Amino acid sequence: MPAFAARLADVKVSASVAMSIKARELAAKGIKVIGLTTGEPDFDTPAHAIEAAHQAALKGDTKYPPQGGTPALKAAIQRKFKRDNNLDYTADEILVTNGGKQAIFNAFMATVDPGDEVVIPAPYWISYADMAKVAGAVPVTVSCPQNNGFKLRPEDLEAAITPKTKWVMLNFPNNPTGAACSREEMKALAEVLLKHPHVWVMTDDMYEHLVYDGFEFCTIAEVEPRLKDRTLTVNGASKTYAMTGWRIGFCGGPAGLIKAMFNMQGQATSGVSTVGQAAAAAALDGPQDLVAERAAQYRARRDLVVELLNQAPGVVCHKPEGAFYVFPNVAGCLGKTSKGGKKIESDTDFAFALLEEAHVAVVQGAAYGMSPYVRISYATDMDSLREGCTRIQEFCKGLS
């Protein structure tokens, strides 16, 4: 068989996908598995967004789309950035992508040369590092420990930046921890970045509307306008409007960068589904009360999960500010043996034994660059969360 590209050598299948596959295999055998792995809202797409897509299709809006986004969606994105983030972007400073992931991929592919470095706070969404590798960059991870609320410290950011640094990635609220930065904390990071004008800044703001207990979201180009001309602000419809399958991402940034990303997208996927763009424009411009209502439900789920996990022997669960994940520490479970005879030496052992014996699917923290933790998504119904956490408690009680 002919050889595969060397660039794939270090690129792995997402751990959350791998765990979901294993959970489906068990479910196919008739086993009731509680799946807490997927970062996907369990709510429906807003009805007015679905209707907008339907009307677009009926009107014949089914031809090849403009490569960078329809004028209607770009205008809605401009209004969104102004309304939610106090950021002004012109039409040529906005790009519509096939999910937020493509915006990140486009940016790396358009700017990174072999040997460039991408600074990524850890724990991190695994795709950041893998996309950087595919583009030829070297991921440089910076630990964000639990004793700092899983947030990036300015001094650690400063230490990670070198002459080879091309990008600094920011993702707050964070996947997998749910950690979010206050305005003061974001300002402190901005002060560091201002000292390094050769560095691009990318902020993945997918979870901006999922913040709790009065926490106020902020994004770095808003906090420090002097960084706007080298910041790419990435967002999308997936998490806020429960539109994961519609694959609508978007970003705002300096026109030169957006043009380079536009060129890259033209060789990869070209434009984005026309009916999907119509739905996203309706979601962005339509009633926003649903967003707050759903965030309130997520907050109640978070509170339940944190409370129940902290009752599991050997587990310590930090209460995050946002997103729909918790990232509990399972250090107290290591060195023990499960009822099924599995030796728990790592968070990976914990996750697989939990799935095999208690039929609860979570993702090991090692996949996100920090052990010994597991990621649990609470983007599911209360009954499933309660049962899943109860099973985790019983599993932990059975360790000896």
The 10s digit of each residue's pLDDT in 122-137 is 999 989 999 999 999 9
Whether the pLDDT of residue 15 is over 80: the answer is no
Confidence at residue 84, expressed as pLDDT on a 0 to 100 scale = 98
pLDDT, average across residues 337-349: 96
Q: 6-44+290-397 architecture in CATH?
A: Alpha-Beta Complex (3.90)
Task: Give dist(CA 301, CA 119) in Å, integer.
Answer: 32
Question: Of the candidates 84, 72, 89, 374, which has an alpha carbon nearest to the alpha carbon of residue 257?
Answer: 89
State the alpha helices, DSSP H only, in the chain.
15-28, 47-58, 71-85, 99-111, 126-134, 154-160, 183-194, 220-223, 255-268, 274-285, 289-309, 347-353, 382-397
Residue 193, pLDDT above cutoff 90: yes
Question: Do the beta carbons of residue 122 and residue 368 sit within 8 Å?
Answer: yes
Can you tell me the mean pLDDT for 384-398?
98
Residue pair 372/331 in contact by the 8 Å Cβ criterion: yes
The C-alpha atoms of residue 107 and residue 382 are separated, in whole angstroms, by 38
Residue 195 tokens, joined:
């000292």
pLDDT at position 41 = 94
pLDDT of amino acid 265: 97
pLDDT band at 27 (very low <50, low <70, confident <90, very high): confident
Q: Does 204 score more than 80 pLDDT?
A: yes
- Kindly tell me the sign of the dihedral angle through the C-alpha atoms of 127, 210, 99, 115: negative
Label residue 70 exposed, middle or buried (CB < 10 Å: 0-12, 13-18, 19+). buried
The confidence score (pLDDT) of residue 29 equals 87
* Environment class of 287 (CB within 10 Å of its CB; exposed 0-12, middle 13-18, buried 19+): exposed
Range with the lowest mean pLDDT among 16-30, 155-169, 308-322?
16-30
User: CA-CA distance, 57 to 241, in Å (whole number)?
Assistant: 20
Q: Give the N- to C-terminal CA distance of the chain in Å, as an integer.
A: 48
How far apart are the C-alpha atoms of 206 and 379, rounded to whole Å? 14
**Fold assignment, 47-285:** Aspartate Aminotransferase; domain 2 (3.40.640)
pLDDT for 11 equals 80
Residue with tokens 């967004």: 49
Domain boundaries defined on the chain: 6-44+290-397, 47-285
What amino acid is encoded at 360 in this protein? Answer: V
pLDDT in tens, 144-155: 999 999 999 999
- Percent pLDDT > 90 in the chain is 92
**The model's pTM:** 0.95
Confidence of residue 13 (pLDDT cuts 50, 70, 90): confident
Residue partners of 81: CB distance under 8 A and separation at least 6: 87, 88, 89, 233, 252
- pLDDT of 316 > 80? The answer is yes
pLDDT at 6: 84
Residue 350: pLDDT above 80? yes
Write out the two tokens for 229.
Answer: 């001309």
Q: How far apart are CA 318 and CA 320, in angstroms?
A: 6
pLDDT above 90: residue 16: no
